[in-house]
Amino acid sequence: MTSLHADEAFLGHYQLNHDPFAPRVPGFKFFPAQRKPVLGQLHHLARYSQLLLVVTGPQGSGKTLLRQALVASTNKQTVQSVVVSARGAGDAAGVLRQVAQSLEIAQAEVGAILKQVVQLALTGQEVYLLVDDAEQLDESALEALLALAAGAPEGRPHVFLFGEPSLIAGLEPLTGEEERFHVIELQPYAEEETREYLAQRLEGAGQGIELFSANQISDIHESSDGWPGNINQVARDAMIEAMIASRSAVKRPSVGFNMPKKHVLAISAVVVVAVAAAWLMPGRSKTPTTGAPANEQAQLPLGQGAPTPNGGAPAVEFAGNTQPMPLPLVGQSQPVMRGPLAEEAGGITEGDDGVPLEGSSAVPPTVTTIAPPAGISAGPAPTPAPAPVAKPAPVQVATAKPAPAPAAKPAPVAKPAPVAKPAEKPATVAKATSGGSWYAGQAPGSYVVQILGTSSEAAAQNFVKEQGGQYRYFKKVLNGKPLYVITYGSFANRDAAVTAIKALPAKVQAGKPWPRTVASVQQELATTR
């Protein structure tokens, strides 16, 4: 997935207008309580101090945001702000050239710049010179800026350097014992300030702080150490992880057949016992005759049988020659328990992967073999032999040809078609709960719980079909593309919706569902039309 597609998926999943945690969002301004005194201190020192002012903090500590606030809070009629970046132009020539261009003078020299500053002071204007990324300044640039900060008797610019703490190590050798600069160190946010920062970022993108739980906010604060740049990265990563987890749960719903391993092993043991019992049932010859050729089949001895008189079990008559019935050996493998026999006796059934299903019989069926009368052949098909045990009807059959009939009789017992019909009902539920008609009929002040959004209507239908109940979805358009938003329930107020979220299944809660008004849904539906 490309970065562009990843961003689109992120925005679509959380219904965001833009990435709330981008490094620099236009128009975003956040000042916690501890930063407001710093801003006031900078204005105070600029007016009454003759020192170069240095603001330090690690990367992502909010230095640039403070610099922007300093420029925005100055009186534009009395202060001309000159902003210089040391990135890519950290020597004296590069810095002085940027200052000269901003002041519209031809010579990029300290003397020429000071002369222009004095001229502006005579007209009632001061000059604020602010340098971003000041840790990248070399020694020559720092010397030039110290000279500008010292100024001339008639006037001087107010120089502010915003950089990482390594900047101080570059200034100290140039000043010696003389006090020529003042350092202000930024402090990280407290946890409550981190929460306010996250809330303002999310509100600017069209959502609220409800996307994060209290525990998540605490984790974000601890992982970021309270620095705003780190907060942005950690918060965005947390939202992406939650999005991936919720989408994985939707794509791979847990609707398959899952059985604990110990149950599978127990049922497998039952199957082995059933097979062994069937193999050792009476009437089978355990070993071939000693000295018989290896390729000769073992033979089942046939006794001299006659019908049992007066209510006894009927004997089975076979038509054919006088050859004994062949019994397959190893190498001529045939199933010991044939399908019709197992089904007639209520035996064990298996799934597609060969694992016995729940509800199968744990007791192997008892199989009784009745030897046919002497001189009657059993025929080539061994399958019909067990049939008379479950179905006495074939007793009067004169030939072996009708033998396949008992094999077909179990079919009505295992008819799956009528059982499968109820499975189609969830599809009807999904269709009945999709579209905007339901939402249009709800009170605008009521609430629903938004579960997730997906670009695939099939995925939305499958999710609603799986969950059923009060799950519905509607279609909206985001960035010119359709988006299908799944919601849950209908609640009179926000508190009821929040309470309902806590009762949702764990895999649904993994997507961080959140309450929203029906009015907002109706507005999106109206826009889509």
Question: Residue 12: what residue type?
Answer: G
Q: Is the pLDDT of residue 75 over 50?
A: yes
> Higher model confidence: residue 452 or residue 247?
452
Cα–Cα distance, 432 to 461 (Å, whole number): 11
Contact call for residues 249 and 505 (beta carbons, < 8 A): no
H-run or E-run covering 451: strand 447-454
C-beta neighbour count of 121 within 10 angstroms: 17
425-482 pLDDT, tens digit each: 433 333 434 557 898 889 999 999 999 888 889 988 988 988 888 899 999 887 678 8
365-387 pLDDT, tens digit each: 433 344 444 444 444 444 444 44
Q: Which residue has the tokens 């915003």?
A: 162
Q: Is the pLDDT of residue 41 over 80?
A: yes
Rounded mean pLDDT, 520-528: 83
Q: How confident is the model at residue 27 (pLDDT cuts 50, 70, 90)?
A: low
Mean pLDDT, all residues of the chain: 73
Q: Is the pLDDT of residue 308 over 70?
A: no
What integer pLDDT is reported at residue 263 of this predicted model?
61
Hey, which residues does 496 pair with through a beta bridge?
Answer: none
What integer pLDDT is reported at residue 386 of this predicted model?
44
Question: Residue 364: what residue type?
Answer: P
Q: Is the pLDDT of residue 298 over 70?
A: no
Contact call for residues 180 and 153 (beta carbons, < 8 A): no
What integer pLDDT is reported at residue 487 of this predicted model?
94
Q: Is the pLDDT of residue 357 over 80?
A: no
> ∠302-307-311 over CA atoms, to 5°?
135
Q: How confident is the model at residue 529 (pLDDT cuts 50, 70, 90)?
A: low
Q: How confident is the model at residue 2 (pLDDT cuts 50, 70, 90)?
A: very low
Q: How confident is the model at residue 11 (pLDDT cuts 50, 70, 90)?
A: confident
Q: Where do the DSSP E strands lie in 238-315?
A: 298-299
Cα–Cα distance, 13 to 299 (Å, whole number): 72
Q: How confident is the model at residue 126 (pLDDT cuts 50, 70, 90)?
A: very high
Rounded mean pLDDT, 65-88: 90
What does the block give as tokens for 52?
């170069």
Cα–Cα distance, 442 to 487 (Å, whole number): 13
> Higher model confidence: residue 510 or residue 91?
91
401-424 pLDDT, tens digit each: 444 444 444 444 444 444 434 333
Contact call for residues 205 and 17 (beta carbons, < 8 A): yes
> Higher model confidence: residue 476 or residue 88?
476
> How many helices (H) and strands (E) would you count in the chain?
21, 11
Rounded mean pLDDT, 154-171: 92
What integer pLDDT is reported at residue 195 of this predicted model?
92
HSE, CB side, 13 Å, CA atoms: give it for residue 455.
10
What does the block give as tokens for 277?
């019992």
Close Cβ partners of 476 (under 8 Å, ≥ 6 residues apart)? 482, 483, 485, 524, 525, 527, 528
H-only helix segments in 421-512: 425-432, 437-440, 457-467, 494-502, 506-509
H-run or E-run covering 521: helix 518-528
Q: Is the pLDDT of residue 317 over 50?
A: no
Q: Is the pLDDT of residue 292 over 70?
A: no
What does the block give as tokens for 92?
């004296």
What integer pLDDT is reported at residue 30 of this predicted model?
75
Cα–Cα distance, 329 to 206 (Å, whole number): 76
230-242 pLDDT, tens digit each: 999 999 899 988 8
Contact call for residues 448 and 516 (beta carbons, < 8 A): yes
| Dihedral sign of CA atoms 31, 34, 37, 39 in order | negative
Cα–Cα distance, 7 to 12 (Å, whole number): 8
Close Cβ partners of 163 (under 8 Å, ≥ 6 residues apart)? 54, 55, 56, 63, 86, 131, 133, 134, 135, 136, 137
What integer pLDDT is reported at residue 235 of this predicted model?
93
Close Cβ partners of 321 (under 8 Å, ≥ 6 residues apart)? 377
Distances (CA, A) of 360 to 112, 268, 300, 357: 97, 11, 32, 6
Rounded mean pLDDT, 68-96: 90
Residues in the chain: 529
What integer pLDDT is reported at residue 354 of this predicted model?
36
What integer pLDDT is reported at residue 282 of this predicted model?
60
Q: Is the pLDDT of residue 297 over 60?
A: no
HSE, CB side, 13 Å, CA atoms: give it for residue 273.
14
Rounded mean pLDDT, 302-325: 44
Domains of the chain, CATH where assigned: 3-25+190-251 (no CATH), 35-185 (3.40.50.300), 424-528 (3.30.70.1070)
Close Cβ partners of 303 (under 8 Å, ≥ 6 residues apart)? 371, 373, 374
> Higher model confidence: residue 141 or residue 253?
141
173-197 pLDDT, tens digit each: 988 778 899 999 999 999 999 999 9
What integer pLDDT is reported at residue 223 of this predicted model?
93
Rounded mean pLDDT, 202-208: 88
What integer pLDDT is reported at residue 269 of this predicted model?
75
The least confident of 36-45, 139-148, 250-259, 323-332 is 323-332
Counting residues of the chain whose pLDDT is more than 90, the rounded percentage is: 32
Q: Is the pLDDT of residue 143 over 60?
A: yes
